[in-house]
Amino acid sequence: MKNIVSFKEAKACPIQFVLAVNDTLNVISGKWKLPIIGSLLFEKKRFSDIQRTIGKITPRMLSKELKDLEMNGMVKRTVYDTTPITVEYELTESGKLLSDVLDKMLEWGLQHRIATLSKN
C-alpha cells in the first residue's frame, strides 16, 4: 500500500519526489498512451474511432492500453446497448487535468529544442 505524501514532503525528500513523479510517468508511458489520451482530449470517442485517428495501432494494443488507462482512473468506459453494441471512451476529470502537465511538457520541450540547437 502506497502512503500518501504532501507536495511539501515529496519536494523535501529526493526519494519520495522521484517515486511520486514516477507514478505520473507510469500513467503516460509506453508507445500508445499519449496518442490515445491526445485523441480523447477534445471529445469522447468509440473504439474504432480511436483506432482510425491513431492509424497504425493494432486492436490488441488499443484494447490493452485502454484497459490500463481505465484501471488507472484516466478513462471512463461506457457501453451502449445498440445493435451492434457501441462503447464510448472518455477522459475522467483527472484525465482532463493531465493536459496541464502535457502543456508544461510541451513548453519545456520547445525551449529545450531551441536551447540545444543553439549549442551546435
Partner DNA sequence: TATACTACTATACTAAAGTATATCAGTATA
Partner DNA sequence: TATACTGATATACTTTAGTATAGTAGTATA
Rule CB under 8 A: is residue 7 a binding residue for a second copy? yes
Strands (E), 1-115: 45-46, 75-80, 86-91
Rule CB under 7 A: is residue 54 a binding residue for DNA? no
Select the binding partner of residue 7 from DNA, a second copy, none (C-beta < 5 to 8 A, by kind).
a second copy
Map the footprint of DNA across residues 64-93, applying CB under 7 A: 66-67, 77, 83-87
| Alpha-carbon distances, residue 17 vs 7, 11, 67, 72, 107 (angstroms) | 9, 6, 27, 20, 22
Rama region for 48: left / alpha / beta (φ>0; ψ in -120 to 50; rest)? alpha
Binding site for a second copy (CB under 8 A): 2, 4-7, 10-11, 14, 17-18, 20-25, 27-29, 34-35, 38-39, 41-42, 72-73, 92-94, 97-98, 100-116, 119
